[in-house]
Structure 1
């Protein structure tokens, strides 16, 4: 007799009496199961066990929650406006700082920067190429001289460029004076290692950050 047939055979009555084993009846098994489920599930009083089991929802698979399609407005840090900067006097140079010698290190740094930008300003280099690079370069620290202007009092003014705005240059002269020179109707010269380049202010009215992306056309002369 194989194992499966042995398990399915009934227990002899003599063995039941000897072991004091009595198989439970089907009614007792059903009552025990119902009591166990009631204690485990803890059904509400208004529902019976059969109704609860019949209407119980079964989750067959995982459902991802729907994403919120509404775009969240990112808070960007707002910079100071032009009016706020004027009120706070951010660009104002104090009188005790308007000294020519204080800006000489800035001029030396600018010389190293422009020599590296223009490849050392070698005599064999193209003057047009050097001039194009100078026009797009940062001029803070350069020594500028007004060579022509509709206002005669500006002609001859020389100083280190300490601030450049869209329409004006601010220069510190050797006399420790801050000069504000309008770009319009003025021609400036900048010299480095014997190379002199002229800047026509009427065609140069951009901020330093905007000038690097502008395309300049080389012309022989320009009217003020």
Structure 2
């Protein structure tokens, strides 16, 4: 009760008797600002109005950027056809042209085809095996030329060492390296009693490209 009386404003009747004039809010604010400006020592660059209003100052912060190492945009380029020819990359040395030397490769190919077909059983469909062989890697397979426009190629048989887009390169049982064109030739491949025929004219592509190609089930081949 006493605190309210102390804080109560002076009645208007007593203001004239006491000689007290009511102060407006603007005059009080100006007096307070002038008093603080004269009594407080502040740096010259500090704004007194911002200090009195207690405004929060948000400082901008940016994280330092990490220096990224520049990666080379150039991809490693392979050898050109001329460089491969000069280095003789695809040539098989005469001392390596032996049929017995590549028999382990043929055994690996047979196991590879068995795994590819999920096991070759007598109950397997020949069409199923044929479709698997069309997209399989034939390196290591024993292929035989059954038909060809060139009579000298008919009957040749050997382990396939290299397959190019247009030719097969095989090693015969007589240790002879033969290059047979795919075009106008029919080849046979035998594994575990299943014999599949390959029409070379429809096989003129690289082994890596053949795995993604869709072959037609029916068709006619002209020799």
With normalisation by structure 2, the TM-score equals 0.70
1:216 match: 215
Distance, in Å, in 1 between the alignment partners of 2:122 and 2:193 is 10
Q: CA deviation at 1:119?
A: 2.3
User: Unaligned stretches of 5+ in structure 2?
Assistant: 1-40, 47-56
Partner in structure 2 of residue 116 of structure 1: 115
Could you say which residue in structure 2 is the equivalent of 1:16? none
- Alignment match, 1:76: 75
Residues 83-102 of structure 1 aligned to structure 2 (within 5 Å): 83-102=82-101
Partner residue of 2:193?
A: 194
Structure 1 vs Structure 2 CA RMSD: 2.7
- SS of the aligned residue for 1:120 comes to coil
What is the CA–CA distance in structure 2 between the aligned matches of 1:129 and 1:197, rounded to whole Å? 11
Q: Which runs of 4+ in 1 moved over 4 A?
A: 64-68
Counterpart in the other structure of 1:125: 124
Deviation at 1:184, TM superposition (A): 0.5
Q: C-alpha distance in 1, partners of 2:152/2:202? A: 21
Whole-angstrom CA distance in 2 between matches of 1:72 and 1:175: 53
> 1:206 is matched with which residue?
205
Query: How many residues align structurally?
Result: 173
In structure 1, runs of 5+ residues without a counterpart are: 1-32, 34-49
Question: C-alpha deviations, 1:3-45, integer Å up to 9, x for none?
Answer: xxxxxxxxxxxxxxxxxxxxxxxxxxxxxx9xxxxxxxxxxxx
Note the 1:4-83 alignment, pairs <5 A. Answer: 60-64=59-63, 74-83=73-82
Higher mean C-alpha displacement, 77-86 vs 93-102: 77-86
